[in-house]
């Protein structure tokens, strides 16, 4: 197997939030980073920031992870420039709320295509390159506390279904690729100060919701993107070399807390 040096890390949804924070942390340790995002401008900007932060190489590409042609093209371009990846952070996702009986099929399909099929396509094309190059590396997929419990605010059935499926997929891939030395784990981030966090909250309600979350999260604050990003950095490193098929929860204590006050 190829030794874990001169690492190339591919990050989807890397134009902002946890993905961008992860790419910059990888850059600071000297990794090469390939940043994919549906918004190509943010991907390019994040790649420039990664170079400034110390990346040995960086590229930002526009990529809709629900479109296999775009995913395949992106991995081909990355391979042409840098070779096969050592690590993949399959992170791109959307959160569109709604009750199931009111949800148009088109919206349901869009959420599944981005969150679940996007993870599948990212891992599919990344794994092909890793296996061909005999790289024993690490894959991290973004799951959610919604994989284990329903959000109290409700209206998250489609999003939660994708995250539960991602958690199952992570466990299966961990078993399937262990013989090749490829580890697959899941990040389970809690409430984090990203655009996605407030996607289903009216602008005039964000500060009220933020204050409520601070009261309810045991650690008393929302995560900054760097908090879960540090978990991803660890899962992509040799320090977690004996971990696969696991979920690392970084949620300020949300899942540890009883949902009732007595």
The pLDDT of residue 237 is 96
Q: Return d(Cα 198, Cα 146) in angstroms, integer.
A: 16
Does the model's pTM come out above 0.95? no
Q: Is the pLDDT of residue 193 over 80?
A: yes
| pLDDT tens by residue, 205-241 | 778 777 888 888 899 999 899 999 999 999 999 999 9
Q: Is the pLDDT of residue 71 over 60?
A: yes
CA 28 to chain centre: 19
Fold of the 8-250 domain: Rossmann fold (3.40.50)
| pLDDT tens by residue, 165-184 | 999 999 999 999 999 999 99
Q: Return d(Cα 178, Cα 170) in angstroms, integer.
A: 12
Q: Which residues are catalytic?
A: 159
Q: Return d(Cα 91, Cα 103) in angstroms, integer.
A: 24
The pLDDT of residue 2 is 40
Specify burial of residue 113 (Cβ count, 10 A radius: 0-12, 13-18, 19+): middle
Cα atoms found within 13 Å of the Cα of residue 156, Cβ hemisphere only = 22
| pLDDT tens by residue, 133-176 | 999 999 999 999 999 998 888 888 999 999 999 999 999 999 99
| pLDDT tens by residue, 8-40 | 999 999 999 999 999 999 999 999 999 999 999
Q: Return d(Cα 248, Cα 237) in angstroms, integer.
A: 14
């Amino acid at each position: 197997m190829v030794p874990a040096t001169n690492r190339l890390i591919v990050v989807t949804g890397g134009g902002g939030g946890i993905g961008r924070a992860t790419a910059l942390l990888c850059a600071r340790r000297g990794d090469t980073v390939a940043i994919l995002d549906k918004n190509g401008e943010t991907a390019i900007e994040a790649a420039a920031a990664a170079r400034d932060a110390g990346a040995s190489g960086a590229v930002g590409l526009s990529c809709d992870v629900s479109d296999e042609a775009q995913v395949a093209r992106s991995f081909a371009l990355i391979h042409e420039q840098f070779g096969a990846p050592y690590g993949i952070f399959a992170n791109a996702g959307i959160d569109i709320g709604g009750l199931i009986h009111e949800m148009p099929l088109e919206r349901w399909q869009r959420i599944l295509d981005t969150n679940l099929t996007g993870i599948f396509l990212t891992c599919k094309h990344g794994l092909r390159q890793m296996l061909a190059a005999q790289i024993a590396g690490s894959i991290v997929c973004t799951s959610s506390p919604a994989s284990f419990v329903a959000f109290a605010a409700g209206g998250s059935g489609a999003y939660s279904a994708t995250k539960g499926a991602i958690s199952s997929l992570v466990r299966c891939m961990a078993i399937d690729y262990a013989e090749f030395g490829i580890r697959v784990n899941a990040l389970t981030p809690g409430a984090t100060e990203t655009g996605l966090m407030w996607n289903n909250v009216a602008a005039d309600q964000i500060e009220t919701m933020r204050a409520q979350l601070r009261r309810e999260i045991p650690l008393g604050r929302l995560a900054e993107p760097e908090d879960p990003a540090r978990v991803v950095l660890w899962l992509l490193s040799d320090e977690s070399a004996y971990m696969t098929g696991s979920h690392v929860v970084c949620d300020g204590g949300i899942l540890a807390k009883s949902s009732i006050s007595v």
